[in-house]
Amino acid sequence: MQSAADSGTQVAIIGGGPAGMLAAQRLAEAGHRVTIYEAQATVGRKFLVAGHGGFNLTNAEPLPSFSARYAAHQPRFQEFLGHFSPSDLRQWTTQLGIPTFVGTSGRVFPEADYKPAQLLKAWLARLGQLGVIIRTRHRWLGFAGASGLRILNEATGEEISINPAVTILALGGASWRKTGSDGLWTTALTEIGVRCTPFQPSNCGAEVNWSAFFREKVGRAPLKNIAVSCGPHTVRGEIMLTEYGLEGTPVYALTPALREALGHSNPAPLLLNLKPDLSWEALRQRLAQRRAGTTLASFLSSALRLGPPVPTLLREVGPAALPTSPEELAHLLTHLPLPVSGLRPLDEAISTAGGVAWEELNEHLMLHQRPGTFVAGEMLDWEAPTGGYLLQGCFSTGAWAAQGAARWLAQNAKIFFG
């Protein structure tokens, strides 16, 4: 059934996350009639979740190295970021009345006085002023004919069909299901022959099969100012030992490398350097000062500030007989192998790799299989580390898809509007 209220929809945006809402804003600003269809009772749930642990909107890193964060997709993202850049994103938040500041490692946050909910509220008010209609509890079920969409009004149980002139799909990835990003949309796309790369957890914790003794004795404990390496990739920072393995930004950043390593061997070795600020020679010299009779635990604590849980960790993953020579001990402290047996489940991950395969899209992010249907945000097959690169990627692809949609509308205006 075609709903009368939706019959005038010129642009349908499916998914009320950052990618979809920015696309909606850009198209409404260009004078188009836009409706957002969102399955949840409210929009922007994952956007708000992102705000819980520090709302890292983007990064002040220069564009060449910023775009390198998207690894193999750098050339594409260079173009997306050029179109809607990190400074455009900062300007956008400022225009919504929320100033930003640059924190450590270039991370950009809203000023301390502003809560994520305030940004979302200001954004929704702006969308309202632009005439964007938001239909919550409206779940997209799939395609109908050449340009139609099937939508379920979950409040009434009624299924409607709409025929927008253009559609932007921005349904998110497949983690944190409770925010609405359930990844179920792949069925509708594969049904029309669009290839989707299977989802994989990204920016997630790593599993280590600790002994029962270790789990009980250490539980959760931070390791500060360390470096972890997987293959040629090394990341510094702080990690957290947990009952199931490891958490923390350096581990998240190594997810792609760990995933690849796990494809070759299990467990995959993650090498921990407990003293990345000391040269190997300086470390060796300090270790050579250990006097006979001093326990390793008290020596490591006093000479190198490596207190608990380090001695227990060395016994857990080090050789059965810990080395005594300064050289071997220096090697162990800088190359401690943490045997990673897997990545944490998809639903726990901050983001997901996988999604709509790039070869299914043209340069405007329009599906080859379905002219007039564009894709944006995390449902595309890319991944990037934390640090503001995820939201920026979603905003930039949202703006890019909106530009493609506007162009397509202009080219096809005669067909649609006589």
Ligand X SMILES: Cc1cc2nc3c(=O)[nH]c(=O)nc-3n(C[C@H](O)[C@H](O)[C@H](O)COP(=O)(O)OP(=O)(O)OC[C@H]3O[C@@H](n4cnc5c(N)ncnc54)[C@H](O)[C@@H]3O)c2cc1C
Where do contacts with ligand X occur on this chain (CB under 6 A)?
14-20, 37-40, 43, 45-47, 49-50, 55-56, 139-140, 170-172, 175-176, 180-182, 185, 350-351, 377-378, 388, 390-391, 394
CA distance linking residue 201 with residue 232, whole number of Å: 21
Q: How far is the CB of 386 from ligand X (least distance, A)?
A: 6
Q: How far is the CB of 388 from ligand X (least distance, A)?
A: 5
Residue 270: its H or E element: strand 268-273
Q: How far is the CB of 285 from ligand X (least distance, A)?
A: 41
Which phi and psi angles does 140 have, rounded to 5°? -75, 130
Which residues on neighbouring strands pair with residue 159, listed in sequence order? 152
Q: What is the DSSP string of 213-230?
A: HHHHHHSSEEEEEEEEEE
Q: Which is nearer to ligand X, 310 or 350 (CB)?
A: 350
Q: How far is the CB of 111 from ligand X (least distance, A)?
A: 16
Going across the sheet that includes 373-375, the strands are 133-136, 34-38, 11-14, 166-169, 373-375
Q: How far is the CB of 55 from ligand X (least distance, A)?
A: 6
Q: What is the DSSP letter of 374?
A: E
Q: What is the DSSP letter of 290?
A: P
Q: Which is nearer to ligand X, 196 or 391 (CB)?
A: 391
Q: Which is nearer to ligand X, 37 or 143 (CB)?
A: 37
Q: Which is nearer to ligand X, 42 or 341 (CB)?
A: 42
Q: Which is nearer to ligand X, 156 or 265 (CB)?
A: 156
Residue 410's nearest CA partner among 27, 14, 15 is 27
Q: Which is nearer to ligand X, 311 or 398 (CB)?
A: 398
Q: What is the DSSP letter of 98?
A: -
Q: How far is the CB of 179 from ligand X (least distance, A)?
A: 6
CA distance linking residue 238 with residue 223, whole number of Å: 6
